[in-house]
Amino acid sequence: MSAQGYHVAVVGATGAVGNEMIKILEERNFPVRTLRLFASSKSVGRKLEFKDEEIPVEELKEDSFKGIEIGLFSPGANVSKRFAPIAVKEGVVVIDNTSAFRMDPEVPLVVPEVNPQAALRHRGLIANPNCSTIQMVVALKPIHDRAKIKRIVVSTYQSVSGTGKKGMDELLEQTKALLNFREIVCKVYPHQIAFNCLPHIDEFLEDGYSKEEWKMINETKKIMEDDSIRVTATTVRVPVFHCHSESVNIETEKKLTAQEVRDILSKAPGVVVYDNPKQREYPLAIDVAGRDEVYVGRIREDKTIPNGLNMWIVADNLRKGAALNAIQIAELLIREGKL
């Protein structure tokens, strides 16, 4: 790094997460010396704004990475599988937001509030976890450290922005069509998403679980560095534009009261406890959108088992669930001298 900062590339710059990465780099005053934006050939000619400057979008090619120090990738798993290793060979530290490398045992899977030490073991490539996994482990790791979590049952209510701009466009168009008594067109999702809930995110596997559900199961164990935690998940797409919400039930080895959990989480990095049901105060997607923290409420004991707890977890999936987490990883590496 020079005194002016780092040479940074955003790969997949024109997508929803790529756009958010550019915005957050500016908001957090990340030490950017130069910023280059890459996407597919169809995006060439577009310009995106960064610090009052319009930066042209370049076509992603194998020779795109000369002189780049940090690569923030969110172009889709297949593109990352092809180009991330090329970037690493060029000396780029790649932080990849796709599913391409998350379960690779050689690649750290990192949430800075949860397992920062894993990032320091990188060999040029770090994976950003699934959005729904990130917000859950940020809230659960402080509890696990205090009382050891034995089992997690999670149901997610995931916004259409998790599918990118095309998902948001489909919800908008279907909503307008319904309100104007026009025919509903389904292109992105297999069924109508407007005014509906789809218990179907990603492909279904032979065991009846979806890929999204298995991502949460496997990634949670890797990030928490504890294969003994039993995790089961049901992931649902809901007609909300921004923010994922989760109903989480946990069983711990040691007994914790609801108030003890509130106290633990109120001191946890990246967490906001917003939990006063009597005053109708609990996390809502419309309030959490655009915020960096993970919000937790509806904390209460599960009376059906000795050491059970329920909670409601909400976070902005494009920020903490994707772009922000990646940039926080880069900031961690800078602080620790690992870039």
Enumerate the active-site residues: 131, 244
Contact indicator for 102, 131 with CB cutoff of 8 Å: no
Within 13 Å, how many C-alpha atoms sit on residue 1's CB side?
18
Strand partners, 276: 281
Measured CA to CA, the distance from residue 198 to residue 145 in angstroms comes to 34
Residue among 328, 310, 331 at smallest CA distance from 320: 328
Contact indicator for 15, 165 with CB cutoff of 8 Å: yes
CB atoms within 10 A of CB 99: 20
Measured CA to CA, the distance from residue 190 to residue 196 in angstroms comes to 12
Contact indicator for 264, 254 with CB cutoff of 8 Å: no
Strand partners, 235: 156
Can you spell out the DSSP letters for 173-186?
HHHHHHHTT-----
User: Strand, coil or helix: what is 5?
Assistant: strand
